[in-house]
Amino acid sequence: MQLPDVNEKWTHRINTVTIGATKEQGGTRGKTITVGGQTTLPSLTFEGATPNKPVIAGYVADTPPDWPDTLKNAIGKEINSPAEWARKCVETFGVDMINLSLIGADPSGKNSTPAECARVVESVLKAVDVPLIIRGCNDEEKDNLVLLECSQASRGENCLIGSAKEKNYRTVVAICKADKHKIIAEAPVDINIGKQVNILLQDSGFDLNDVVMFQTTAALGYGLDYVYTILERARTTGIKGDKLMAMPQLCDVGGETWRVKEAVADEDVLPGWGSLQKRGPMWEAACAAAYLQAGADILIMAHPAAIATIKMLIQRLS
């Protein structure tokens, strides 16, 4: 007796997005990164094609984040220099690209000027030749000024810039169209708002083939399961044929994991939870592994041990 074919039959594919520009393409990058293109769900290669494997973007910030010493020490003294930090991420940690978060621009913090942020972008571009993600400080009013300067400073490099949200998408679209960058479309863990942002970008004349979706990220124990289902639903909807949801997806695992108690508190605060030196990177790796299975194409990561673990996992799944 012949068994029935239980494989899913998907009819469409996820958009491919290429980040970075080589010298021949008008930039200075040594390589480009292409994500997306799947015609199946993660790891189910027997049901469809997965032409581009997920990639890791090393988390770099313009000023040292409020992280525990266990993470700062693992990165090293380079954490005090964005350019050196980026170089170490590429040469030592082996990341595919760099995520530069301009957290120093936050008005409630260091309050760096847009010009200062642009100089940081220029220094990182000189230090490494991999593609660059440029993100602001999550203050929309300040980010509109910061991203404008940073976009111009990286003109021709085909960076991934974010984020475009419901309230500021017009500014981000104008910036990225003028300087020929790609856009991160961000939504607050809501698939309907995510689709609405994509509609707004399209209505503004921005090509959705140049968009990466970001449904924000939650750490293990802090809503990971909910974000997982949103990413999974977005991916399923995309390969079923909804062109407004057929974009690659990004997760800021490092930026989110190292904010939660379980990843930053010593054992005297969490008795019986084990050494923080092991627990922290394990927490980050566990989050990243889950999001890989949910459909993440770009994982922003911080701890070198977690990066090494996920690099090995991606290779095995590929």
The residue to which tokens 């922290």 are assigned: 280
3.60.20.10, 3.90.245.10, 2.40.30.10, 3.20.20.20: which CATH number matches 45-317?
A: 3.20.20.20
pTM of this structure: 0.96
pLDDT at 1: 56
pLDDT per residue of the chain (318 residues) written in tens, 0 to 9: 565 566 788 989 999 999 999 999 999 999 999 999 999 999 898 899 999 999 999 999 999 999 999 999 999 999 999 999 999 999 999 999 999 999 999 999 999 999 999 999 999 999 999 999 999 999 999 999 999 999 999 999 999 999 999 999 999 999 999 999 999 999 999 999 999 999 999 999 999 999 999 999 999 999 999 999 999 999 999 999 999 999 999 999 999 999 999 999 998 889 999 999 999 999 999 999 999 999 999 999 999 999 999 999 999 988
Q: 182 by DSSP, 3-state: which?
A: strand
pLDDT at 9: 82
Which residues lie below 8 Å from residue 185, measured CB to CB, with a gap of 6+?
Answer: 162, 163, 164, 169, 194, 197, 198, 201, 211, 212, 213, 214, 247
Query: What residues contact 239, with CB distance under 8 A and at least 6 apart?
Result: 10, 11, 12, 13, 14, 38, 39, 40, 41, 48, 246
**107: burial class by Cβ within 10 Å (0-12, 13-18, 19+)?**
exposed
Q: Where are the chain's structural domains?
A: 45-317
* Alpha carbon separation from 142 to 56, 102, 219 (Å, rounded): 27, 11, 26
